[in-house]
Amino acid sequence: MENDVISIALTDEEGNEIEFEVVTKLDIEDKEYVIVVPKDEDTDEAIALRIDKDEDGNDIMVTVDDENEFDIVAEAYETLFAEEDNELN
């Protein structure tokens, strides 16, 4: 079976490129988000990124810094995976 994991490379504040695996994509209130985890780190910590457009119309990913927005994304993520767990049981 083929592994369909999507990987992306993002640049941090110091200019270092870090590989992430995309866990899922969410559409919430006319905005798109991706949930990613660091590819080479052994961690369960996921990062929520909002997909925005730059001035040229290209997709860019920005961290979700607003606490209320983050809570909405986290709740949608938890609901999605709770539903998947229920389907498996």
Domain ranges (residues) in the chain: 6-88
Cα(89)–Cα(85) distance, rounded to whole angstroms? 6
Kindly provide the residue ranges of all beta strands, DSSP E only, lying in 15-80, ordered along the sequence. 17-28, 31-38, 47-53, 59-63
Q: Provide the pLDDT confidence category of residue 85 given band limits of 50, 70 and 90.
A: low
Q: Provide the pLDDT confidence category of residue 43 given band limits of 50, 70 and 90.
A: confident
Place of tokens 């504040």: 13
Cα angle at 17 between 46 and 48, to 5 degrees? 20
Cα(66)–Cα(55) distance, rounded to whole angstroms? 22
Q: 4-8, 19-23, 45-49, 50-54 — which is least confidently predicted?
A: 4-8
Q: Provide the pLDDT confidence category of residue 1 given band limits of 50, 70 and 90.
A: very low
**36-44 average pLDDT score:** 82
Cα angle at 76 between 86 and 33, to 5 degrees? 125
Q: Is residue 15's pLDDT more than 80?
A: yes
